[in-house]
């Protein structure tokens, strides 16, 4: 029986290694690949995906799972995770999986064109097909249970639509009222203005990654259109972008991706190339990027250091002092775009998407009525209208890619970051003195010791509870946002 366990883990290790190769091809495609290689790369990726699919559905896995006897808790957890993935793969008919892959890969191109042309009608027939296929997948996975809950398992195991709806119901009234108070305040911080050379931004971005302990010996920083991080273990790469008018975009994207990458770099090497060797869920992953980006990276102490580094690099910034810089880095402004949203408004963007996609999967909302439902809800929560579809339901790639159930993990990440920040401040009373010197290592050390090193050892919520010493809830995030933004806006 020990042989079955060892055989299973050896087989899994090779699958994980191949999956890392696929991920690295994806990284290459977004950073280095010559344009002319696109078609050939598609064929290369499809070949590798075919190999991976065959391995993930290999009937020997079923035999090994039935006989495997894990030697310890980590081994038992690995067997559990392999078993779950194997059962879920088996529940989705091969015909359906292939059709989803085919339709979503076409849909992303159609979505991009529809967004560029602001033409919802161009996208609707494709989106209808995607939603129908993903609903069918959810129903197959749910085995009579709730289809949306079954889809959530891909991104946030253990989360349910009902629990997330309750979380959002608690958050929404406080966020709506904080948003109104902040935008209506007499004092409004000045934005950062000017032109900032890309070379200077990238040099600063490297200093930001340094401040949070990114390991350059096992990673690298490159440019990409949409920043992301990629890889696990000893090869975890980050990307960023520069916008001459908005250096915060580059710096905070870099800090955000450093959070994702730092999590992967910190996982116990004993878990390398096992199901425990990567971040446990999208929500927990996002908590690591958000706490770096927002609670720490946009703190008064850290922005004080950032202000001095910005002046070293770019000269006078046209802002009176470090307090003005702190306010500029946290400025709340009206907008339509989720990815450009500030801490106060971000979760409102997610709630809107969560409610709509849950209704789509439940069949309570028709794709044909999605645009009207989006625009009505946006007006209600944000107080201003959606001007054109690219500011509304066409702004995000997720639905075209079949990623339904993904959006709420962003807010869960924010909620977890709020809890982790409260616990971390409890344990590190002198943190601000370090942050003011551009040294986030006490926070990074705390996160590594309490959360990151364990990878997938515990389920997502238990991972956060173990780190904090209390059960996660929305309270810490909401209290933090209230205190921070009421002070900045002098309310
Ligand atoms: Zn992220």
Q: Is residue 397 part of a domain?
A: yes
Compute the distance from residue 482 Cα to the ligand 1 centre, in Å: 23
Q: Tell me, in angstroms, the distance from the centre of ligand 1 to residue 90's CA.
A: 30
Q: Is the pLDDT of residue 311 over 70?
A: yes
Give distance in angstroms: CA of 290 to centre of ligand 1: 7
Residue 156 domain-assigned (yes or no): no
pLDDT band at 42 (very low <50, low <70, confident <90, very high): confident
Report the domain count for the chain: 2
Same-domain check for residues 99 and 214: no
Same domain, 356 and 448: yes
| 140 lies in the same domain as 176 | no
Based on the domain organization, do 104 and 201 belong to the same domain? no
Residue 178 sits in the same domain as residue 116: no
Q: Please tell me the distance from the alpha carbon of residue 378 to that of residue 337, in angstroms, as a whole number.
A: 11
Among candidate residues 16, 153, 257, 461, the one labeled active-site is: 257
Q: Is residue 150 part of a domain?
A: no
Q: Which domain holds residue 102?
A: 2-145
Q: What is the pLDDT of residues 215-261, one digit of tens each?
A: 999 999 999 999 999 999 999 999 999 999 999 999 999 999 999 99
Residue 432: inside a domain: yes
Alpha carbon of 286 to ligand 1 centroid (Å): 5
* 62 C-alpha to ligand 1 centroid (Å): 34
Residue 153, in any domain of the structure: no
Residue 316 reports pLDDT greater than 60: yes
Report the separation in Å between the CA atom of 343 and the middle of ligand 1, taken as the mean of its atom positions.
14
Cα–ligand 1 centroid distance for 156 (angstroms):
14
Task: Answer with the one of 145, 171, 193 that is the final residue of a domain.
Answer: 145
> Residue 424 belongs to what H/E stretch?
helix 408-427
Q: Is residue 319 part of a domain?
A: yes
d(CA 105, CA 99): 10
Q: Are residues 118 and 168 in the same domain?
A: no
The verdict on whether 257 is a catalytic residue reads yes
Tell me: the pLDDT tens digits for 384-401?
999 999 999 999 999 999
Classify residue 154: in a domain, yes or no.
Answer: no
Query: Is there a single domain that holds both residue 351 and residue 213?
Result: yes
Residues 186 and 308 in one domain: yes
Q: Helix H segments across 118-239?
A: 120-142, 147-152, 161-183, 198-211
- pLDDT tier at 153, thresholds 50, 70, 90: very high
- Residue ending a domain, among 120, 145, 170, is 145
CATH code at position 175: 1.10.1370.30
Answer yes or no: do 227 and 369 share one domain: yes
Structure tokens, 195:
């032109």
Count of other CB atoms within 10 angstroms of residue 379? 12
Q: What is the model's pLDDT at position 2? A: 65
How far does the centroid of ligand 1 lie from the alpha carbon of residue 186, in Å? Answer: 33
Same domain, yes or no: 289 and 195: yes
Asked if residues 182 and 491 have their Cβ atoms less than 8 Å apart, the reply is: yes
- Write down which residue in 112, 145, 178 finishes a domain: 145
Claim to verify: residue 375 and residue 314 sit in the same structural domain = yes
The answer on 109 and 191 residing in a single domain is: no
């Amino acid at each position: 029986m020990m042989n079955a366990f060892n055989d299973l883990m050896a087989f899994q290790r090779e699958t994980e290694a191949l999956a890392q190769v696929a991920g690295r091809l994806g990284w290459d495609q977004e950073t280095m690949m010559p344009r002319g290689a696109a078609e050939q790369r598609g064929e290369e990726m499809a070949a590798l995906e075919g190999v991976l699919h065959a391995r993930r559905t290999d009937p020997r896995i079923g035999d090994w799972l039935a006989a495997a006897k894990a030697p310890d808790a980590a081994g038992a957890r690995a067997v559990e995770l392999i078993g779950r993935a194997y059962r879920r793969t088996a529940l989705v008919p091969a015909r359906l999986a292939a059709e989803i892959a085919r339709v979503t890969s076409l849909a992303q191109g159609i979505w991009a064109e529809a967004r560029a042309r602001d033409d919802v009608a161009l996208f609707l027939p494709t989106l209808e097909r995607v939603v129908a296929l993903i609903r069918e997948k959810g129903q197959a996975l749910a085995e009579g249970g709730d289809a949306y809950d079954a889809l959530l398992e891909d991104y946030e195991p253990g989360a349910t639509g009902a629990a997330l709806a309750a979380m959002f119901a608690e958050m929404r009234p406080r966020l709506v009222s904080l948003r109104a108070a902040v935008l209506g305040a007499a004092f409004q911080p000045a934005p950062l203005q000017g032109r900032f050379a890309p070379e200077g931004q990238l040099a600063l971005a490297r200093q930001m990654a340094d401040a949070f302990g990114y390991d350059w010996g096992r990673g690298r920083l490159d440019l990409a259109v949409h920043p992301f991080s990629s890889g696990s273990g000893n090869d975890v790469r980050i990307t960023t972008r520069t916008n001459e008018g908005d250096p915060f975009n580059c710096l905070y994207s870099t800090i955000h991706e450093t959070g994702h990458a730092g999590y992967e770099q910190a996982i116990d090497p004993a878990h390398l190339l096992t199901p425990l060797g990567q971040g446990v869920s999208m929500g927990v992953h996002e908590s690591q990027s958000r706490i770096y980006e927002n609670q720490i990276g946009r703190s008064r102490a850290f922005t004080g250091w950032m202000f001095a580094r910005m002046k070293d690099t770019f000269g006078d910034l046209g802002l009176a002092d470090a307090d003005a810089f702190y306010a500029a880095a946290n400025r709340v402004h009206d907008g339509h775009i989720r990815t450009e949203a500030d801490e106060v408004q971000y979760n409102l963007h997610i709630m809107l998407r969560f409610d709509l996609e849950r209704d789509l999967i439940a069949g309570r909302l028709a794709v044909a009525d999605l645009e009207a439902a989006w625009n009505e809800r946006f007006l209600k929560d944000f107080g201003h209208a959606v001007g054109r579809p690219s500011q509304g339901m066409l702004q995000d790639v997720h639905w075209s890619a079949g990623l339904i159930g993904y959006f709420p993990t962003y807010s869960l990440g924010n909620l977890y970051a709020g809890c982790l920040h409260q616990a971390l401040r409890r344990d590190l009373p002198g943190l601000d003195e370090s942050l003011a010197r551009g040294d986030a290592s006490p926070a990074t050390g705390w996160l590594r010791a309490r959360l990151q090193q364990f990878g997938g050892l515990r389920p997502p919520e238990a991972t956060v509870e173990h780190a904090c010493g209390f059960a996660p809830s929305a309270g810490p995030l909401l209290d933090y946002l209230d205190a921070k933004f009421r002070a900045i806006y002098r309310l």
